Structure 1
Amino acid sequence: MSGGDADIARTAALFADPARVRVLTALGDGRSLAASVLASEAGLSAQGTSAHLAKLREAGLVTVERSGRHRFYRLAGPHVGDVLETLARISPVQPVKSLKAGTRAEALRYARTCYDHLAGRLGVALTAALLEHRALVTTDGVPTTERRARDQISKPLATHPYAIGPEAAEVFASLGVDLDAARRRKRQLLRFCLDWSEQRHHLAGALGAELAAAFERLGWIEPRTPGHRAVRLTATGRKELEKRLEIRTL
């Protein structure tokens, strides 16, 4: 017999628990973490973390990998990260009750990881610069990364108006990215998200992941701090982006 409608309520209920959302958010940058690390980052007990992970695994939202005696958990794929970003776009901002919380919120909006690629003002500025330098081109006649009329704020971009541009190989090479290697990855090369804080497009997919990895390898962004998706653009990174992509507004 064929199945009925998707059980949206059952999946939505998993995101309705604040503790489970903290677990998913801790995994939102694409890392694989042990349950003990997740417990620390989410502020939960070991028993509580295990219970939440069991429910998330059953629903197919996280996967587990064994390494010796240890188990490492990660999001089941970028589509789960998309759900987190989508919910962030339509959710009210949590009230800032301290200077520390305000600084953290601003850091997330400035530069963060969205699963395994860069988002926030940094991610949006990078995508716009790639377009200006013809590493990317638009296919719909709109020469910017602005939100299109068909883009629904509550959904990831199912389709996008971008293609690889004539200067792609040279521009990406200058940023430490091997375009051919990105093409060989077993995932979609070009993918885009509607950034929840900037309401403009940022580069995702295999190419976005390669770009973020290159920036970290070159020391242009600081390594992620535990429990926080914000990344910091280093002085070297700022200088190189101004030199190579003429980005001066970060």
Structure 2
Amino acid sequence: MPGEEEVNFERVTKVYREESGKKTLVSLEADFYDRLATYIGRLEESANKEAQKDPNSPKALLLQDELRKVRKRRDQIFTYRERKLALLASSRASGSEVEVPNLPAQERFLFDNMVALLRKSRTDAFGGSAFGVEPAPPPATSTVVPAKEKPAGMKVVRAEETRRAPVAPSLKDHVLVHVLEDVPPFAGIDTTYRLKKEDVVTLPKTIAQILVDRGKARIVQMPDAAR
């Protein structure tokens, strides 16, 4: 499309350097990964063609080296961006206003799903509110109502019957995980977990470690927002 940079070795290297050197996401066009895949496909075809002629020729070796570097930088770019997306999704799920740049279609899908999953996890953990404990209602003022004049349907509430809103549980013992394959439903302390491949969700550290040890999931390391 007019105005868009060509996806080639120089562009991939540029994006890699920007992502590795910045805490914020670089704005990328919606079809970036699609065009990157097309570029890698053409590169593979050229490399294979030259290797069939002479695998040790300078051109064949140069193409193989370019292909290897591009694949590695593609993976590194996605890993850097995945971590930043996870941090943004966590902030958005907690109710914070966060600015999200233009994202490739695949990352937009990932981001929206992470936000939805994190909000659901918060809702489950906080008992119905995705953003923590809902404000407690103001304390009722004590009003003495004569027994004979008490309006119908009015309930006199004694002080000992009032209760404070429950305190939200801490999420410091939870981690964000990326599910690598479908996991049969299993029971936790207070809920039943149903995890599917490619889910991104927060889990208690003990459960997350069991899944990681069994090769069912991997922990998504989020960069320290304070740095």
Query: Structure 1-normalised TM-score?
Result: 0.24
* Bigger CA radius of gyration: 2
